[in-house]
Amino acid sequence: MSVRKKYGQRCDRCFMKTEICICHLIPKIQVQTKLVVIVGKREELVPTNTGRLATLALTNSVTLIHGDLARPLNLRDHLSEDTFPLLLYPSPDAEILTHTYLSNISQPVSLIVPDSNWRQANKMRRRNEIMRDIPIVKLASGEPTRYMVRKENQAEGLATIEAIARAMGIIEGIEVQTKLENLMDEMVKRVMKSRGVKTQD
């Protein structure tokens, strides 16, 4: 099936089916933190990709594509000297992102988030010289994922938008986290309803 045929009935912005388009519900959330989501080329047009949804909601954000030779990824172009870069990735040697950790950082944060599974994210990091030099942070254990659209193989695995929401909750405040989580919940509800699966309101 061609990409044109497969995605012809989908919104050009959120990539969801036109009948369940979520664009009118996407908030514009003003944040100081710069969000850089790095999506693998294979995930770029996947409708259930949630990293892109986060960048649509957060004004100070960008989605970059990894692995597309026609569009080489230059992370440096999106990192300002006025910000402190952090890579959100659950590496065993990552520091836990907390208010105490942030208290030692005097600049606004640039949060880099690989939008892929753990193995692919690790490969991204190893192959990107800039990413290899960025301090790594991870989230403390918390509530299990509410993202029912895809099966999660890791017990503590989260959808990308959930991880971003929780990180932003620590960096920017609980209001930002709640808005992102509400947006994801609405996406999940609409996708599951389109599949004939009833969800709890």
pTM confidence score: 0.87
In a domain, 200, yes or no: no
Lowest mean pLDDT, pick from 12-21, 42-51, 142-151, 187-196: 42-51
Query: Could you tell me if residue 106 is inside a domain?
Result: yes
Helices (H), the chain: 3-7, 51-57, 99-102, 118-127, 129-132, 160-171, 174-194
The residue that leads in pLDDT, 69 or 95, is 95
Query: Does any domain span residue 44?
Result: yes
**What does the DSSP assignment read for 162-182?**
HHHHHHHHHHT-HHHHHHHHH
Residue at 91 is within a domain = yes
Q: What is the tens place of the pLDDT at every residue in 50-64? A: 898 999 999 999 998
> CA dist 54 to 16, 23, 49, 131, Å?
14, 12, 10, 20
Q: Give the count of domains, the chain.
A: 1
Residue 137 pLDDT class (50, 70, 90 cuts): very high
Residue 145 lies in a domain: no
| Position 48 confidence tier, pLDDT thresholds 50, 70, 90 | confident
The answer to the question of residue 73 being in a domain is yes
Whichever domain contains 130, its CATH number is 3.40.1280
Does 4 map to a domain?
Answer: no
Average per-residue pLDDT for the chain: 85
**pLDDT at residue 84, rounded to an integer:** 96
Residue 67 lies in a domain: yes
Domain that holds residue 157: 27-140+152-194
**pLDDT at residue 7 greater than cutoff 60:** no
